[in-house]
A and B are shown apart, each in its own frame.
Chain A
Amino acid sequence: MPSLPDVMIPEVADLARRAASGQTADPHLEDVALKPAFFDWLCRMGDSTLILGHRLSEWCGHGPVLEEDIALANTALDFIGQTQLWLGLAAEVEAQGRSADDLAFLRDAMKFRNVKLVELPNGDIGQTLMRGFLFDAWHFEMLTALGNSTSPRVAEIAAKAVKEVSYHLERSSDLVVRLGDGTEQSHERMQAALDYLWPYTGEMFAGDAIDRAVTEAGIAPDPAALLPLWQRTVTEVLAEATLQVPDRRFDAQHGGKQGRHTEHLGYILAQMQFLQRAYPGASW
């Protein structure tokens, strides 16, 4: 067989090192006034992929069928790889000697900047896939827009990530359609998942002062600008899936991007950060 790769880790690790070594010049990294907002925004990107990747990794060994178990792990691996890049750049922007691992394993909940949607429990596989779809539809538009970022480093990460995420979206849309329009039971479960997750989706499009600062610097798009694109994808896919868009506010739940999370995040961190917390300074 032509040599297909067994794992993609070395490639991601290599990219992370390259990004961290700063081969591409980026004037935004020297902009002192922009630093706090840029750092926070990078944490929003990296924390969302970190926490969602963590949630997906919980499925490992417990998937509904072997093929799906493997596919979920692939997606989780993509997210962990992207986290290394985003948090690696965040650490570089911050320039306080912290690493991506320090940011992931040594911050407490109030310092996390992920949207609440990604920290919600996995529920059944339908809820996991629906959460993935709602996120992927945003993530894809965000990364596509970041391809035009005035920050070459951000554009570089986005260019790598968007290839992975376009496949995430293709796969999650396909499964949402199939399960929505499958059996009566699968339809009901997908509708219930959608109803539960819907109020958390609006946070992805809500801008604040941080967003305004990076938007003005040309680093990232205005989050609100992504909404029509997201709505188009979501409406189309849900219609094909014979699912009803819930009749309730889609932005009722928010605050994750500012560090006000659900109760779930604390438990994720308790697990994820256990070793780093229990054995400070040890090397793994």
Chain B
Amino acid sequence: MYAQMVKSEGMKSLEDMTPEERAFQERIDRGEKIEPKEWMPEGYRKTLIRQIGQHAHSEIVGQLPEGNWVTRAPTLERKAILLAKVQDEAGHGLYLYSAAETLGVSRDELMEKLHSGAMKYSSIFNYPTLTWADMGAVGWLVDGAAIMNQVPLQRTSYGPYSRAMIRICKEESFHQRQGYAIMMKMAQGTPEQREMAQDAFNRFWFPALMMFGPSDKDSVHSAQSMAWKIKMNTNDELRQKFVDETVPQAEFLGLTVPDETLRWNEARGHYDFAEPDWDEFFEVIKGNGPCNEERLEARRSAWDRGAWFRDGLSAYAEKAAARRAAARVAAE
């Protein structure tokens, strides 16, 4: 989810596969986990690095829109909860980078690719958070959409990724609840608060739907990733599930879904809803979203301003190790 449009390597039929590839695919079909250092097709490894890396980047860039309100949280408790939540995003990024590192890429390499624009992060984090109600909307909708994709990913075929997702899901479920709790307070609050809540909902509804990626018919890389069990559901399946679950939650809040075409379809047993504006989506991915430049600049700047800190600590560790070694020699 935090990984949109991950390019996957080509798809082969069982007959066209080499014996290793076939044995590998059969292990995945049996539901076995693939662990680091085990044989895997190069395409599997590369696709996973792209996907896990993009997911990790989304977590740390995802700190920024909510981090934007940490210093303006309205009560001590809200401040603590929001800070704990945004801190969790850093933790999630860390778990995911660690999972990617088992595939033979370093965190610094991935960071460089984020900073250079060679790797992407989820489009959703390029939207601004303008009022406190956005903290509710982001938790409720963005974390809600993310969890829809992350829950099945706990069963993904790559062991370290699966374990990272399990830990992340455990934390994310509290995230969505805290967002919804903020929305409830706002929706039941003063007229100004209700207005803020509806406005936040209006602004985040379609960007949240975009989080699942383009429609299946335009999604060229799905088949191979699904065969490898690194993508568990199609984009449209998850989007539908999200809409079906979110609409009643919005009704409970007394908020109006900003989609006049939204209808319950008795025959399908699902809501019919309007597609988001995919042109906007592709523009945001390309770098033309409302906050692309600020987000990337914030990450680059944190990294650059932190260089002396990281280097200073490395230098001390080397000196301390040398001193210990010298002391050992002297003692002998």
Q: Chain A interface (Cβ within 8 Å of chain B)?
A: 6-9, 12-13, 50, 54, 57-58, 60-70, 73-74, 76-77, 80-81, 83-84, 87, 100-101, 104-105, 124-126, 175, 177-179, 181-183, 185-187, 189, 271-272, 274-276, 279, 281-284
Contacts and interface: CB of A to CB of B under 8 A. Distances in A.
16 contacts: A8-B84, A58-B71, A61-B63, A63-B302, A64-B305, A80-B80, A175-B313, A178-B313, A189-B308, A275-B72, A275-B73, A275-B74, A279-B192, A281-B190, A283-B189, A284-B182
A272 B308 contact: no
A279 B132 CA distance: 12
B125 to A, nearest CB: 11
A279 B131 CA distance: 12
B72 A182 contact: no
Contacts of A104: 76
A13 B77 contact: yes
A124 B306 CA distance: 9
A60 B70 contact: yes
Contacts, number: 163
B302 A62 contact: yes
Interface stretch (B4-12, B89-97, B217-225, B278-286): B89-97
Contact of A57 (B70, B189, B319): B70
Contact of B311 (A74, A81, A186, A283): A186
Given A124-B305, A178-B316, A282 B310 contact: no
Contacts of A282: 189-190, 192-193
A73 B72 contact: no
Given A179-B313, A179-B316, A284-B78, A62 B298 contact: yes
Contacts of A61: 60, 63-64, 67, 86, 90, 298, 302
Contacts of B83: 57, 60, 73, 76-77, 80
A186 B190 contact: no
Q: Which label, helix, strand, loop or mixed, suits the secondary structure of the B interface?
A: helix
Contact of B310 (A12, A65, A73, A177): A65
Interface in B264-304: 298, 301-303
Contacts of B308: 124, 126, 183, 185-186, 189
Contacts of B87: 60, 69-70, 73-74, 77
A210 B138 CA distance: 45
Contact of B75 (A62, A105, A126): A105
A243 B253 CA distance: 58
A7 to B, nearest CB: 4
Contacts of A124: 305, 308
A77 B90 CA distance: 15
Q: Which label, helix, strand, loop or mixed, suits the secondary structure of the A interface?
A: helix
Contacts of B64: 61
Interface extent on B, as a size class?
35 or more
A47 to B, nearest CB: 12
B67 A60 contact: yes
A203 to B, nearest CB: 24
Given A64-B302, A276-B74, A6 B67 contact: no
A10 B73 CA distance: 18
A6 B302 contact: no
A186 B86 contact: no
B45 to A, nearest CB: 23
Interface string B296-332: 0010011101111111111111010000000000000
B199 interface: no
Query: Lowest 3 A-B CB distances belong to which pairs?
Result: A64-B306, A186-B312, A182-B312
A50 B97 CA distance: 33
A54 B83 CA distance: 10
B241 interface: no
Contacts of B185: 283-284
A279 B190 contact: yes
